[in-house]
A and B are shown apart, each in its own frame.
Chain A
Amino acid sequence: MYFKLALKNVRKSYKDFAIYFLTLLLSVSIFYTFNSFDQQEVILNLNKEQLTLFQLISQVMTMLSVLVSLVCGFLILYANNFIIKRRKKELGLYMMLGMKNSRISRVLVYETFMIGLISLIGGLLLGFFLSQGITLVSANILAVSVDYHFVFSVPATLLTVLSFMLIFLVVMIFNTWIIGKYQLIDLLKANRVSEKRLRFPRPVSLILFAIALALIALAYYMGIRRGNLMMIMLVGAAGTFLFFFSLSGFMLRIFKSFPKFYYRNLNVFVLRQLDAKISSTHVTLSFVCLMLLLSLGALATGFSINQYVKNMLDPIGSFDVTYIKAMSTGTASDPTGDLQLDSKAIKAVYALNQYQSQHSFETVDVSDLSETMQSNLQQISARQKLYVIPLSDYNAFLQLDGYAPLHLDQQQTVLLNGNTNMTQTYEALKSKQITPFSTPLTVIDAIQPKTLFSVYNFYNQALIVNDEAIPAGTEGNQIVSIKLAEGLSDTVFADALSEQLALNPDLYPDPTVATKTEAIAQVSMINMMMTYVGLYLGSIFLISSVVVLALQQLSEAQDNAERYRVLSKIGVSQTMINRSILAQISVYFIAPLILACVHLVFGFDYVIAMLQAGAGLKNLMQPAILISGIVLAIYGGYFIFTYQSSKNMIANALK
């Protein structure tokens, strides 16, 4: 009987539950999709390197899923709480009729069970189709062929079912707990209480809003100056919070000074409604705004990295394999002299000698630099040794790619920097003295490497000095890169080479041989991983924020129905009422999105710099269009849904 009651409830209040269903459906399908990478492995024709890395992505996604399921859990609990609140009167009636709390809980448990079951099955079906789409995206990114057939991922299904079952279990416990807490009188009298709230006089609300804008501007400025991330986030969050705290008061003051607008049609009502709504939910709005920023940031980073990595792929190609040979004697030897290599297979061998300096940045007088720069330098001095590259080696590589050689005086050095995040700091070291060995040298320039020295990009920092400036006997190593003859497999060659290197651990402490294939695979995998992490987190955060907004609007529909009834009685037409609902929901939905977008525009630069991807970003149009598409679909969908539901609820109340 209780099961029947629950079934009827679910069916009857399906409109109330609709947004709950929709959200569950989307979360389940996204969760499944991003955990179903084992299914992609079967479809895509991957090589060995790609397969290994693919499994790594799979693991990363599974780890991220812990975070995602936490977010989903909170979201579902929030939505559930909203539904329970709306059903207070119904629950009160059960109690009045003498139903025991435990029985009511049981009805709710059945309801949750049914909703959970339906949304799990529906979400898995949807996720199944979504994951096919994602597979095609992978194929596109990795540029591999597809052996297309439908597959179903059993581990992903199990993980999804398990995670969401856990969430539903928590929901059930929560409902039982909350039912036990309610007093009958509260349930029956669950009407609105006119809230009294703080109102500031005009100058105060203007000043507060100005402070909010100033804080936000400060955060942007700190971002442009590459300040401390923690501080930027704190100032930005405080500004955002104050922005929403003071927004409604400010807005009202502004519009009030245009009485022609303020006292036209329902404008006064719409503005007052928004004022009440925004100021009573300013905390929620701030969180939603920051969550949106996170979501947009994740999406933007994910897609732009894609662009960046595509650009990064171009220079790869001059070398086929790279390995490192130690130079314990301090003198460069023939890099391949001690190895038995098939001379026909090798087209050319190049070696870059790099020596370990005795001192690092601690020898530089940095007292006039900013604190951030000082600590950056300190960290680098402590973490890794500064390598010194002889000018002749550097020029040899420049010549290889057709660049003009570099000239240095005896007392001069150039700082080679592959770490774009440090560009500003290193620029500040220009014309300062550094003492890598015994004599001080003047840093005449800080430059980014023009060429590759191995199959990989150069990511660290090194000093280029005249060959004579390096004392004899300095320890160091050789980065040996080989170009192979046409048509040879770098992987096969590398395997053979690696076996030889392993025989002489003194000369080759690390016998791994890096290959071009591997480099390409890694680059495109980083690319794909970032894209997917961005998509996964971005869409979940996007859904979470918009669901919170939608629920905030819908939960007020009951109170609002009362107000619209009054309006209708004094002669306001249905069209005018609908227009006012649309205006309110639009502002409520769009305000946090706009602020988040502005935040993103200013913050994105910082993120890209942190990810050391600055140079590669050229074409931002494509990612921008993609992201707008995703945001428009999810945000717009929930927006239309919320508007329609509110409109219907109020139209029903007015009948």
Chain B
Amino acid sequence: MNDILQVNHIEKYYGNKGNITKALDSLSFSVQEGEFIGIMGPSGSGKTTLLNCVATIDKVTSGQIIIDGKDIVALKKNQLSAFRRDQLGFIFQDFNLLDTLTAYENIALSLSIHQVNPHEIKTRIMALAKLWDIEECLAKYPYQLSGGQQQRVACARALVSDPSLVLADEPTGALDSKSSRVLLESLSAMNERYQTTIMMVTHDTFSASYCQRILFIKDGKIFNEISKGTQSRKAFFNAIMDVLSVLGGDSADVL
């Protein structure tokens, strides 16, 4: 399979001379088409910076990020927004639905900026709404929906334009456990059925256990990487816990 995302030795520095923070330190990895990859790490490890760089919202100091064969680091500002529009889908922790638009219109917006005709918009939204079980939410406004429903609408918005890569930033961060489960099951079903490539940043072990592969980041570097392979979700969950307990600092750090 092809690599949909290739990250080569990216570095991201904050601050100025004499006081430099390395948020990302020569980080490299790749994501294959159809993969559901998780990024984990403690606060300040650089995982959100990584996501923002891949999302073309932030710029790296050096290195390459290649998405679907295109080096996004070299793109100009105008090209970047077009690239985001055409290639990427976003799911945010706080849903980020537009509060003045109905659920239907929120989803439709990401197609209407692609100049898709209204008939096609309707067919695609209806198909997705069925998958995400939000058919009865479509005519409602975000404030009339529960958190779980809002996030499912947001997922539908991210997926409706058939992006080559979906980026999810703590998608369950604002949801209760039941809604989280529903959402993650749907995400992984989408991934299996339609080969949607998903990159999810989280520090919730339960969420991470739905991924196929997990990258652990610490101090801007890759600390560890584990794959689910054929093991059960429960076994994978425990494997993640083990890595986390080491990641959190070993006993030598505690005096």
Contact = CB atoms under 8 A, between A and B. Distances in A.
A74 interface: no
B53 to A, nearest CB: 14
A259 B105 contact: no
Nearest to B143: A194
A222 to B, nearest CB: 38
A573 B143 contact: no
Interface in A250-296: 259-260, 262-269, 272-273, 275-276
Contact of B113 (A265, A563, A565): A265
Contacts of A268: 101, 105, 108-109, 112
B55 interface: yes
Interface in B53-112: 55, 57, 77-78, 81-86, 88, 90, 92, 96-101, 105, 108-112
B248 to A, nearest CB: 31
9 contacts: A194-B99, A194-B142, A563-B100, A565-B96, A569-B92, A570-B113, A571-B83, A572-B81, A575-B78
Contacts of B78: 573-575
B118 interface: yes
Contacts of B85: 570-572
Which among B77, B78, B90, B98 has the greatest number of chain A C-beta atoms within 10 A?
B98
B12 interface: no
B142 A571 contact: no
A469 B183 CA distance: 102
Contact of A569 (B96, B97, B118, B142): B96
B100 A566 contact: no
B100 A570 contact: no
Interface string A553-593: 00000000001011111111111100000000000000000
A196 interface: yes
How many B residues touch the partner, as a band?
A: 20 to 34
A570 B117 contact: no
A572 B100 CA distance: 17
A268 B111 CA distance: 11
Q: Which of B84, B90, B92, B100 is the most central at the interface, judged by chain A CB atoms within 10 Å of its CB?
A: B100
Interface in A205-260: 259-260
Interface of A: 194, 196, 259-260, 262-269, 272-273, 275-276, 563, 565-576
B57 A572 contact: no
A260 B98 CA distance: 21
A570 B84 contact: yes
A575 B78 CA distance: 9
A272 B90 contact: no
A565 B143 CA distance: 19
Interface string B129-145: 00000000000001100
A574 B92 CA distance: 21
Contacts of B100: 269, 272-273, 275-276, 563
B245 interface: no
Given A196-B143, A263-B121, A566-B96, A572 B105 contact: no
B101 A570 contact: no
Contacts of B110: 570-571
Nearest to B114: A571
B86 A571 contact: yes
Interface of B: 55, 57, 77-78, 81-86, 88, 90, 92, 96-101, 105, 108-113, 115-118, 121, 142-143, 157
Contact of A263 (B84, B90, B92, B108): B108
A268 to B, nearest CB: 5
A133 B142 CA distance: 56
Q: Identify the 4 closest CB pairs spanning chains A and B, nearest first.
A: A571-B85, A571-B84, A259-B118, A573-B81
Contacts of A574: 77-78, 81
Contacts of B121: 263
A575 B113 CA distance: 13
A566 B143 CA distance: 17
A260 B117 contact: yes
Given A266-B109, A266-B113, 12 more contacts: A260-B117, A265-B113, A265-B115, A273-B100, A569-B90, A570-B90, A570-B109, A570-B113, A571-B84, A572-B85, A573-B78, A576-B113
B28 to A, nearest CB: 25
A563 B99 CA distance: 8
Contact of A260 (B99, B111, B118): B118
Contact of B98 (A262, A566, A568): A566
Nearest to A261: B118
B101 A269 contact: yes
Contacts of A260: 117-118
A568 B88 CA distance: 12
A566 B118 CA distance: 22
Contacts of A573: 78, 81-82
A568 B92 CA distance: 13
Contacts of A569: 55, 57, 84, 90, 92, 96
B90 A264 contact: no
Contacts of A566: 96-98
Contacts of A275: 100
A282 to B, nearest CB: 16
Contacts of B88: 571
A267 B112 contact: yes
Contacts of B77: 574
Nearest to B167: A569
